[in-house]
Structure 1
Amino acid sequence: MKKENNTDKITRKEAISKMGKYAALTAVGTFAILNPLQATQTSVPPDAGGGPFD
């Protein structure tokens, strides 16, 4: 039998920590790309010059 080399394995705690860092980085990147304040400002159509009864 061949003995396994444990140098490339990480613990569950380390894996969860790394996943948390990637999740935080992804969230920051998403908010930077899809800025909610800028998105709401650009989604409102400009005033077209009044209503039909003005």
Structure 2
Amino acid sequence: MKKDNNLDKITRKDALKKMGKYAALTAVGTFLILNPQKAQAQSPPNPGGEAFPS
């Protein structure tokens, strides 16, 4: 027998609001992780050059 529980149901409008909040949070997190200045600071000075210059 299937229960009809109205407490767990949300409207389409509420679902879109929640999805928007998660999308914004994901975008901010991605920007912080893939920040170009940090990536540049962590890269070696001569990528693809000699590993141990003499």
Moved more, 33-42 or 14-23: 33-42
1:1-54 equivalence runs, <5 A: 4-39=4-39
Moved over 3 A (4+): 37-43
Measured in 2, the distance between the counterparts of 1:34 and 1:2 equals 46
Greater fraction of residues in helix = 1
Q: Which has the higher mean CA deviation after the structures are superposed, 33-42 or 21-30?
A: 33-42
3-state SS of paired residue (1:6): coil
Structure number with larger C-alpha Rg? 1
Q: Which has the higher mean CA deviation after the structures are superposed, 8-17 or 33-42?
A: 33-42
Q: TM-score, normalised by structure 1?
A: 0.63
Percent sequence identity is 73
Q: List runs of 5+ in structure 2 lacking aligned partners.
A: 47-54
CA-atom RMSD in angstroms: 2.5
- Measure the CA separation in 2 of the matches of 1:33 and 1:3: 44
Q: How many residues align?
A: 46
